[in-house]
Amino acid sequence: MINRTSLSKTIDAINASLFDGAVIDSVERRQCAHWIAARQGLPGAYAGTFAGFPSERTQGIVLFTGERIASASARHILGEEASRVLRQLRVPDRRVTRAIGAADAGMLQCLARSAEDPRRTNPGLFCCSKCSVGLWRNLLAGGLDRQEERLQRGAAHLRSMRSGKSQWRRFPFWYTVLALCEMENAEARAELRYAAPELTRVANGRAPSTVYARRRHLLAMRALTVVE
C-alpha cells in the first residue's frame, strides 16, 4: 500500500481498502502507520501535520472521490486525511500516537486563531469549503475537539450553500457527500436528501470501470441508504 514517493497515493490506497471493507493485516497496518507518522512535521507539512512530497506540493493531490486540489488546500487536506487514516489504522504504538498528537496540536492552534477572526463565527468551518470538508473527515475519525458541535454546525452551513441543482456552491460535491455519509446528525441527513436527485442519477447508471467513477457510483448507492 505504501507509495514511497506519494503520501496522497498511500492514503488513497488505505482509504480504498477501508471503503471496500477489506481487512488490512496487522503487519501492513503497522508498516503503513509508521511510514505516515514519519511524515509528521517535515518541511511542507501544514501546521505541523503530515508533509506530502515536493511533487504533491507543486502539482496538488487527487481526493479519494476524484476531485483535484492544489496549493495550500492540498497541504491542509493531506494533513487532515493522514491524521484520519492513522486513527483508522488503530496501531497502538508510541511513535504513531505522538505523531497524531503533534498534528492535532498544530491544527487546534490554527482553529483557535481562526476563531479569533470576528468574521468566522462557525466552528464547523475552516479556511474554505474544500478545507472544511477535510476538517470534517478528521473530526469524524475522532480528531481534534468539539467533534459533535463542529460537525453539526458545518453540515448546517451547507443549507445556505445550496445551488438549487442538488449540489452546493464551492463545496466539492462527492468529497462532501463522502463526509456527510458518516455524520450522525439531522443536518447531514437533510443535505443528503437535498442531493438525492443527483445521487439517484449516478446510482441508477451503469456500473463504471474507472476508479473514481466506480467510487462515486458506490458512494451514491451508500448515501441513498442513509436517507431511506
CATH code at position 150: 1.50.10.20
Percent with pLDDT over 90 in the chain: 98
Q: Looking at residue 185, what is its pLDDT? A: 97
Structural domains of the chain, count: 1
User: What's the farthest any 2 CA atoms get from each other in the chain?
Assistant: 49
**What is the pLDDT confidence band of residue 78, given thresholds at 50, 70 and 90?**
very high
Q: Looking at residue 53, what is its pLDDT? A: 97
One DSSP character per residue, 21-59 reads TPPPPHHHHHHHHHHHHTTBT-TT-GGGSB---HHHHHH
**What is the pLDDT confidence band of residue 228, given thresholds at 50, 70 and 90?**
confident
Domain-located, residue 220? yes
pLDDT digits (tens, 9 = 90+) for 21-36: 999 999 999 999 999 9
Q: What is the spatial distance between Cα 135 and Cα 108, in angstroms, rounded to a whole number?
A: 11
Domain-located, residue 85? yes
Domain-located, residue 1? no
Range of the domain at 33: 7-226
Average pLDDT over residues 31-52: 98
Q: Looking at residue 24, what is its pLDDT? A: 96
Domain-located, residue 53? yes
Average pLDDT over residues 83-93: 97
Domain-located, residue 2? no
Domain-located, residue 120? yes
Domain-located, residue 66? yes
Helices 173-180 and 129-140 pack at an angle, to 10 degrees, of: 30
pLDDT digits (tens, 9 = 90+) for 115-155: 999 989 999 999 999 999 999 999 999 999 999 999 999 99
What does the block give as the cell for 139? 473530526
Dihedrals phi, psi of 62, to nearest 5 degrees: -110, 130
Residue 207 has pLDDT above 90, yes or no: no
Domain-located, residue 205? yes
